[in-house]
A and B are shown apart, each in its own frame.
Chain A
Amino acid sequence: MSSIRLEGVRKQFESRAGAVVALAPTDLAIAEREMVVLLGPSGCGKTTLLRLIAGLIPPTEGRVQVAGRDLWTGDRRDPAAVADLGVVFQDANLFPWYTVERNIAMPLAMRGVGRAARQARARELAKMVGIAGFGQRWPRELSGGMRQRAAIARALSYEPSILLMDEPFGALDAMTRDTMNLELQRIWTETGCTIVLVTHSIGEAVFLADRIVLLSPRPGRIAHVATVDFPRPRGPEVQADPKFAALCADLRGRLDRM
């Protein structure tokens, strides 16, 4: 069964300069527990596609289904369909007025989970994403990478079956990024969730993905889909595999020709 299904989804933004088609009619099905990476040049509609799946913006045409439920009926969002989704944005977007722990536990508080249970869960998650012991700090006291980890923990707190991530490690240096990718793979294995991740980095895409969806710009549309079948769990040594380099080169070529 597919956990996310898009049928003829089109998105057009109205602006003063006229209408911009950010996404041409697109079909896409993502299976449960799949790791799909959206890759493409700047402005090709990756964020738009992810925000459509997240239900943050309604499609101009077409339907978006999550776990078999339509996200939108008319211009109303189905709260039950969104409940399955966890979103991690490019900026961590932690609330500066809450401690790290309260940030992580906030979705649980909003769902009426008791204080003690919330705190226990937040600690557990902080440990899982590698920021144990920083729970009582303010977000501004954390480094960018740590804030991003906290944002992931927040998105995982209510155990969504689907995790949507928009360039979550975009602001990090290459080394931290590699570590975060390894961690992400581990978290994905541990939680068994479906992940849709947006990135600019070809290497990151090939390292993480089961399937890479390559988008091309003006108007945004799916240009190519590549299946990646290196065995899991993947370690840094995959990057030395000649097949890895070949796949990267192929994608590089396709991106250059856009």
Chain B
Amino acid sequence: MRARLEWIASPLLLLVLLGFWQWYVTAAHVSAFILPPPTAVWSGFVYLVGLKSTWVHVWVTIEETVAGFVLAAVAGVLIGVPVGKLRWLERTLNPFIIASQVVPKVALVPLFIVWFGFGSTSKIVVSAVIAFFPIFTNTVLGVKSIEAGHRDVMTSLNASRLARFTRLELPSAAPYILTGMEVGIVLAIIGCVVAQFLGGNAGLGYLLVAEMNAYQTDLLFAVILLLTLVGFAFYAAIGAARRVLIPWHSSGQAQP
């Protein structure tokens, strides 16, 4: 009963919000440069989706985000596992980890553009750097949260290092790692788009700036909508990975 209520309530709420938006814009005579009505945003969106160049921008954004995210995920897990296991390593690296966490990563974007140029590389690097930390910290946490009793089982079975890693450490940390990835993928898009703001001539971030400069506010909204959809798709992909990879975990189950 409650599930059905949600199915009806969510779209209903959306309709109400859109209705209010439309009404407010017309009633208060808001300039379309400031806030175009939803109908204009929608037609802008339809126009944008019809352009071939839009899809190039979408594709570039997806490519750069995924490349950055994959780099971040591989590095986060590979560095996170030993740091979570070895106390001395964690103690040694801790000041550096905290320092690099505290630096607002977005402030590094101009630097990366200087280093890696206006092409895809700088965007990938920015995405990777921003997405790295949640994946890394969650991996460390996951490895540290392995139950002592489970470790005892492996010790009593004389498990090799490899068996420990594949049968205990990795699956045990998997829910944590996936949570880190869920945050990481969203940050990777942000990193990518911000880097596209500042440099280059491709990607949805570049398109945003271009529409802004052209005072095409309706298209600006349309690009935001497009970005949101891309974000949703990524987020859903991680959710699907959760169900496939950790069906045993309560977070991987379908909601009752």
- Contact in complex: B248, A93 (CB < 8 Å): no
Which B residues from 169 to 193 make CB contacts under 8 A with A? 171-172, 174
Chain B contacts for A91, CB-based, 8 A? 149
Of listed A79, A87, A95, A97, residue having the most chain B CB within 10 A: A97
Per a CB cutoff under 8 Å, which of B152, B168, B246 touches A95? B168
Instruction: Determine the chain A residues whose CB is within 8 A of the CB of B147 once the complex forms.
Output: 93
- Supposing A106-B167, A138-B248 touch, asked if A93 and B149 sit within 8 A by C-beta, the answer is yes
Q: Scan residues 139-155 of chain B and give those whose CB is less than 8 A from a CB of chain A.
A: 147, 149-150, 152-153, 155
For the complex, would chain B's binding face be called helix, strand, loop or mixed by DSSP majority? helix
The contact string, 1 if C-beta is below 8 Å from chain B, for chain A 82-108, is: 110111010101011110000000110
The interface residues of chain A lying within 8 Å CB-to-CB of B152 are 56, 87, 89, 93
| Cross-chain contact B150 with A95 (CB below 8 angstroms) | yes
A110 contacts the other chain (CB 8 A): yes
Known: A106-B167, A138-B248. A93 touches B157 (CB 8 A): no
**Closest Cβ neighbor of B171 among chain A residues:** A97
Tell me which residues from 101 to 140 in chain A have a Cβ below 8 Å from any Cβ of chain B.
106-107, 110, 138, 140
Most buried by B among A86, A96, A138: A96
Closest residue of B by beta carbon distance from A154: B153
Give the A-B contact count at a CB cut-off of 8 A: 48
Nearest-CB residue, chain B, relative to A139: B248
Closest to B168 in A: A95
Q: Do A79 and B149 form a contact, CB below 8 Å, given A95-B167, A97-B174?
A: no
- Residues in A with CB closer than 8 Å to B159 are 110
Is the beta-carbon distance between A97 and B246 smaller than 8 angstroms?
A: yes
B97 close to chain A: CB less than 8 A: no
Q: How far is the CA of A97 from the CA of B167 in the complex (A)?
A: 9
Contact residue among A55, A83, A93, A140 (Cβ-Cβ distance under 8 Å from B153): A93
Instruction: Say if the beta carbon of A54 comes within 8 Å of chain B.
Output: yes
Contact partners of A140 in chain B: CB under 8 A: 248
CA distance A140 to B156 in the complex (A): 23
Structural contact, B156 and A54, CB atoms closer than 8 A: yes
User: B163 interface residue, CB < 8 Å from A?
Assistant: yes
Q: Is B158 interfacial (CB-CB < 8 Å)?
A: yes
Is A93 in contact with B150, judged by CB distance below 8 angstroms?
yes
* Residue pair B155, A56 in contact (C-beta under 8 Å): yes
Chain A residues with CB under 8 Å of B91's CB are none
B-side contacts of A83, CB under 8 Å: 158
Is B249 interfacial (CB 8 A cutoff)? yes
Residue of B nearest to A83 (CB): B158
Shortest Cβ-Cβ A-B pairs, 9 listed: A97-B171, A87-B156, A93-B149, A97-B248, A79-B158, A93-B153, A138-B248, A107-B157, A110-B163
Can you spell out 22 A-B residue pairs with CB atoms less than 8 angstroms apart?
A: A54-B156, A79-B158, A82-B158, A86-B156, A87-B152, A87-B153, A89-B149, A93-B147, A93-B149, A93-B150, A95-B150, A95-B168, A96-B249, A97-B171, A97-B172, A97-B174, A97-B248, A97-B249, A106-B157, A110-B159, A110-B163, A138-B248
Chain B interface residues (CB < 8 Å from chain A)? 147, 149-150, 152-153, 155-160, 163, 167-168, 171-172, 174, 246, 248-249
